[in-house]
Chains A and B, each alone.
Chain A
Amino acid sequence: MQFDVIITIALKEGMLDPEARAIRNALEHLGIPTLSLSTARRVRLGLEAPTRDEAEARARECCERLLANPVIHRYEIEVA
């Protein structure tokens, strides 16, 4: 079966996010103050796998081995 997988990789809670801070400042300069702002990266991939669980396991392997760095990142996997 073919699966469409969306992986969202974000910084762990409490990690400094300098890009988010710079974006918030820029929004403030535009007159749009925000209470909070965080950024994340989205990776969408197509996978061939026998089951949905297998597709999710493969996506997890992608995260563990390359897409995320466990020192600073958390990730979420959605299998469509």
Chain B
Amino acid sequence: MRFAVIRFGGSNCDLDTVHALKEVIGVPTDLIWYRDGLRREYDAVVLPGGFSYGDYLRAGAIAARTPIMADVLRHAGAGGLVLGICNGAQIGAESGLVPGVFTRNEVPRFVCRPAHLRVETAESPFTLLFKRGDVIRLPVAHGEGRYVAPSETITRLNRERRVAFRYCDAEGQVTAEANPNGSVDGIAGVLSEKRNVLVMMPHPERASELVLGSDDGRRIFESMIAHCCRSGKD
């Protein structure tokens, strides 16, 4: 089993993500410079957080059009796992891996704080070690994290249980106060149609060790590993 973390110009959570995967969890992981392309098969590709291309034009817009993203789309099209975190989520949405877009927060300032999330489905490679309704705590750190999509898309995402996480309070109630950015329906993470792509604004890699205050994020990576093992790719 092998994971890839793609480093774009301006990624800044790439090394944190590699650390969580390689040192904390122990899964072999390659850090890939975006110009090098994906030169081998991977079980999972992670698009890390940061400010690729300085967020020029729109967050994630330019990274989404780099040639390595064609490799990532091919990987996803073949059923490979893709996890987009924060700027990686913006890149994932901009590249069409999931519908909708992450845009300017409702109150246009950068939010950086822990957030509670309610796990909305355990039926995905990223959440299979959770139970639906579990409340976890992961940090958010973004200025453009408000999820927007046409209402028919939101209806469809809800119907198909493709909202993986919603912002909630410590008791699991999805409230306006618990929503850090004004995302529609408190959406914090979205799955692709085939459920093999998850994009999410909160940072699981920043909550993968207790010394960091929470290791809830670790179970997302462990779910991915469990999924790959079940698929016989160990």
Contacts and interface: CB of A to CB of B under 8 A. Distances in A.
Interface of A: 15-16, 18-19, 21-22, 65-67, 69, 71-72
B104 interface: yes
Contact of B148 (A19, A21, A66, A71): A71
Interface in B96-152: 99-101, 103-108, 146, 148-150
A14 to B, nearest CB: 11
12 contacts: A16-B146, A18-B107, A18-B108, A19-B104, A19-B108, A22-B108, A66-B62, A69-B61, A71-B101, A71-B149, A71-B150, A72-B101
Given A71-B100, A71-B148, A16 B108 contact: no
B94 interface: yes
B65 A66 contact: yes
Contacts of B57: 66-67
Contact of B106 (A18, A71, A72): A18
B41 to A, nearest CB: 29
A65 B95 CA distance: 10
B58 interface: yes
Nearest to B60: A69
A72 B103 CA distance: 9
Given A66-B65, A69-B94, A69-B101, A16 B182 contact: yes
Nearest to A23: B108
Given A18-B104, A18-B108, A21-B108, 19 more contacts: A15-B148, A16-B182, A18-B105, A18-B106, A18-B107, A18-B182, A19-B104, A65-B65, A66-B57, A66-B62, A67-B57, A69-B58, A69-B61, A69-B101, A71-B99, A71-B101, A71-B149, A72-B101, A72-B103
